[in-house]
Amino acid sequence: MTDRTRESGRLDAGELRRRTADLLVSCPPAETAPLDFLRARFDAGLAWVHFPQGLGGLDAPRALQVVVDAELEAAGAPDNDPRRIGIGLGMAAPTILRFGTDEQKRRFLRPLWTGEEVWCQLFSEPGAGSDLAALATRAVRDEDGTGWVVDGQKVWTSGAHQARWAILIARTDPELPKHRGITYFVCDMTDPGVEVRPLRQITGEAEFNEVFLTGVRIPDAHRLGAVGEGWKVAQTTLMNERVAIGGARQPREGGMIGVAARAWRERPGARTHDLHQRLLRHWVDAEVARLTGERLRQQLAKGHPGPEGSGMKLAFARLAQQISGWEVEFLGEDGLAYDDWTLRRPEGVDFTGRQAGYRYLRAKGNSIEGGTSEVLLNIVAERVLGLPPEPRTDKDAAWKDLPR
């Protein structure tokens, strides 16, 4: 360690570079299988440096992760395919870290980060989408009291067709108001009683699924947090989810605005004054969102995400829909073309992939997935701006007495 590191008790950028160099010497990327390299990186504490030692981290400041990432990218080291395992990285991992037992952390975090085990999120239900706390999937104690039996249906579950594990919320006490009778579990997607069915989208793909749970047995050791405290645990997941979707790091002219800007430069003959003015507004809005995301990540480095992430996710959805609509209009007949309606089962989400028609259709889901725009507007109004909450007549009523 450097003298400065010893004095502060925390790792600095220089020390992280030294540890990264040691990893590259012991596991040369060109001579090491990608999975072996990822395992070694996790064990060296260079997976997510702000996590505790022994769990893929070094208790270092989160802001220093970019130092490690840059060194490894320059050396040609393999990544862990974040697009494929985004739910595990962005939602399951921070929730397990905060609410999991030591045994749960040791069991789940390493294969989650390396991508050996994919995760999905069993939250949304057919009768409880925007009002997630109204969920009806039930979990009851099994005969000997060592576990739970779960029955219900989930929907809009990204990646369930490839997931090994799921984070799941289920109702464990219908006598309590809807937010207080929920418990949070880890569900084994390979267990008997778990059925995954593809849910075909407007794009022709089926990245989402319906998941039917029939008599699924979950050991109590796979409960996260206390019984009945699932809503509190879920808030951690949801806040991280919105940051993961809306606050992803982008370079200037990255993402959807980058695609639109390239189309503008490549087709001077299609330009009009009106389209130029609208593209400029979208470009400025995208840059404002990008810089706001940078500030949000700086705040995140000091603690857990707050409700501001809901504003970022809201801005992301609006911009994606506006820009993809602009692109289709700009391209004219070419923008209406569509390459293939074949049912696909993608391994990851690709908001900017394929052609303009795909991007336009896929963007429609941005205002639904990860919390609808209407729900996020309420969160921003109440928790960020401090405005009075909407009247809620069901706040103190038992869930079993609510009309459905």
The DSSP annotation for 336-381 comes to H-------B--SS--TT-S-HHHHHHHHGGGGTTTS-HHHHHHHII
Q: Which has more confidence, 370 or 265?
A: 265
Kindly tell me if the per-residue pLDDT of 29 is higher than 60. Answer: yes
Kindly indicate the confidence band of residue 5, based on its pLDDT and cuts at 50, 70 and 90. Answer: low
Give me 92's structure tokens: 């399951």
DSSP helix/strand/coil, 8: helix
Of 241, 294, 308, 382, the catalytic one is 241
Q: Please give the average per-residue pLDDT across 23-29, as a whole number.
A: 97
Q: What is the pLDDT of residue 244?
A: 74
Kindly tell me if the per-residue pLDDT of 191 is higher than 70. Answer: yes
Task: Please name which of 371, 347, 349 lies closest in space to residue 359, comparing C-alpha atoms.
Answer: 349
List residues bridging with 57 in a β-sheet.
53
Q: Which has more confidence, 390 or 325?
A: 325
Kindly indicate the confidence band of residue 7, based on its pLDDT and cuts at 50, 70 and 90. Answer: very low
295 phi-psi bin (left φ>0, alpha ψ -120 to 50, beta other): alpha
Q: What is the pLDDT of residue 339?
A: 85
What digits encode the pLDDT tens for the residues 336-368? 889 888 898 988 778 888 899 999 999 999 998
Task: Report the percentage of the chain scoring pLDDT > 90.
Answer: 70
Kindly tell me if the per-residue pLDDT of 395 is higher than 90. Answer: no
> What is the C-alpha to C-alpha distance for residues 37 and 15, in angstroms, rounded to an integer?
20
What digits encode the pLDDT tens for the residues 101-128? 999 999 999 999 999 999 999 999 998 7
Q: Poorest-confidence range of 166-175, 180-189, 243-252, 266-275?
A: 243-252
Task: Report the percentage of the chain scoring pLDDT > 70.
Answer: 95
Cα end-to-end distance, the chain, whole Å: 61
Q: What is the pLDDT of residue 209?
A: 95
103 is an active site residue: no
Contact indicator for 256, 351 with CB cutoff of 8 Å: yes
Kindly indicate the confidence band of residue 131, based on its pLDDT and cuts at 50, 70 and 90. Answer: confident
